[in-house]
Amino acid sequence: MIGDAYDLVMDALATSASTVSLGETETQQRVSARESRFLLQTYQRSPITIDRGEGCVFWDLQGRRYLDFITGIGVNALGHSHPRLVQTIQAQAAQCLHTSNLFYHRYQGLLAERLVEWSGLARVFFSNSGTEAVETALKAARAAGNRHQPRRHKIVALYNGFHGRTMGALAVTGQEKYRRPFEPLLEGVEFIAANDRDALRRVVDRETAAVILEVVQGEGGIYPLSRDFVADVRTLTERAGAMWIADETQCGLGRTGTRFAYQRFEDVGLPDIVVTAKPLAAGLPLGATIFSEAAAAAIPLGMHGTTFGGGPLACRVAAEVLELVDALLPHIRIVGEHLQARLRWLAGRHRVVTEIRGAGLMAGIQLDGLGHRYVDICLDRGLAINCTHDTVLRLLPPLIVSTSEIDEAISTLDAALAV
């Protein structure tokens, strides 16, 4: 009797209509009011609600179209509602969403194998986000450093760098505005300016456990590192017995025209650890820390773990993402050159623009003043971008973007910068 009643309840729940869907009656005012009442108020949101998306565009609740050149801060690298990814998500959701890492599933090893092939390294640890992937890398560097006598604790990081919002990742983020409210943080971090080779030579020594950097700094204002600086990082860390950690959370996975941004400098050599996240699973939470065999030895059995990281849904989707991005690399290089050329044209027309920086489909427009008002103007004209470091307009279009969509964005920016 009890079993029959349970089955009836379960059948009723499975077949009943969902009460979560808000339908066509939802308004921007209601969405904003609900969030204002119940959410921790940590985000300064633009006053639109994204309702649906397709390709390089999305629509709000009122049906207004926007060209998406920020892609969820680089997450939606394959645009919105990619048919192949939708099909993959639907298929896997009907099979298994979560297993925990107490058991195997068929996609985690497959994705790890592909990331090893992409990176040239040896082993992978999966987590939920970029900041957790950075924490894994820092733990490995410190654990390896603790095996030496005297112990090597120092982490060298770059001003303007951004590595996440957990306590360890914040400690190596080279922007005081993010660190100050939460200090004291992880000790033993020393910052130098990007591309300052003399400073790098001074600080990397036998006390150094690791140097962490973004080959193209993202949130800090789209600053590409020079080939010579990156080469020095590789040489000096090898000489000191330290690790080079390449944080590819924003600049990796095809964004600059190569699989990873460090591969733009083919003769430099490989990092010891690579961090990736953001677009890896096309919007599903997934981060990965990729190790050389020597670096992986710092994290033995039982030393590190995660509950959600590397689940079957995210890993299956990520394997599809890598295949799609690989096929897109020639296209990314072509449209990336087009974007950079059109931005240089734009800079020539507006005195407010002082510099164009970037690589591939990752671009920053340096302004001579605050840039937030231009973000608002562009949004009002149907283009979604954002402002980082207060004075840099950041463009991260989908990797599937066309030259005509780039031209549309440049036209909107041209009009906005003239206001």
Reported as a single tens digit per residue, the pLDDT across 357-378 is: 999 999 999 999 999 999 999 9
Q: Which residues pair with 355 in a beta bridge?
A: 366
Strand pairing report for 50-54 and 57-60? antiparallel
Indicate whether this model's pTM tops 0.85: yes
Chain mean pLDDT for the chain: 94
Q: Which CATH class is domain 90-325?
A: alpha beta
Q: Which residues contact 120 (CB under 8 A, 6 or more apart)?
A: 270
End-to-end CA distance of the chain: 73
* pLDDT tens-digit series, residues 381-397: 999 999 999 999 999 99
* pLDDT tens-digit series, residues 227-282: 999 999 999 999 999 999 999 999 999 999 999 999 999 899 999 999 999 999 99
The DSSP code for 18 is: P
Helices (H) and strands (E) in the chain, counts: 14, 17
* pLDDT tens-digit series, residues 2-22: 666 656 555 655 666 665 555
Strands (E), 129-197: 154-158, 189-192
Per-residue pLDDT of the chain (419 residues; tens, 9 = 90+): 566 665 655 565 566 666 555 555 788 899 999 999 999 999 889 999 999 999 999 999 999 999 999 999 999 999 999 999 999 999 999 999 999 999 999 999 999 999 999 999 999 999 999 999 999 999 999 999 999 888 899 999 999 999 999 999 999 999 999 999 999 999 999 999 999 999 999 999 999 999 999 999 999 999 999 999 999 999 999 999 999 999 999 999 999 999 999 999 989 999 999 999 999 999 999 999 999 999 999 999 999 999 999 999 999 999 999 999 999 999 999 999 999 999 999 999 999 999 999 999 999 999 999 999 999 999 999 999 999 999 999 999 999 999 999 999 999 999 999 99
Phi, psi dihedrals of residue 305, rounded to the nearest 5°: -170, 175
Taking only Cα atoms into account, the Rg of the chain, rounded to an integer number of angstroms, comes to: 23
The DSSP code for 241 is: T
Scanning the structure block, which residue is given the tokens 């950079």? 340
* Domain residue limits, the chain: 90-325
Q: Which residues contact 357 (CB under 8 A, 6 or more apart)?
A: 221, 222, 223, 224, 363, 364, 366
d(C-alpha 163, C-alpha 253), whole Å: 16
**Sign of CA pseudo-dihedral 321, 327, 330, 331:** negative
Q: Which of 132, 146, 113 is nearest to 300 (CA)?
A: 146
CA torsion 265→267→271→274, rounded to 10°? 40
The DSSP code for 284 is: B
Report the percent of the chain where pLDDT is more than 90: 90
Joined tokens for residue 85: 């990814």
Is residue 288 within 8 Å of residue 121, measured between CB atoms? Answer: no
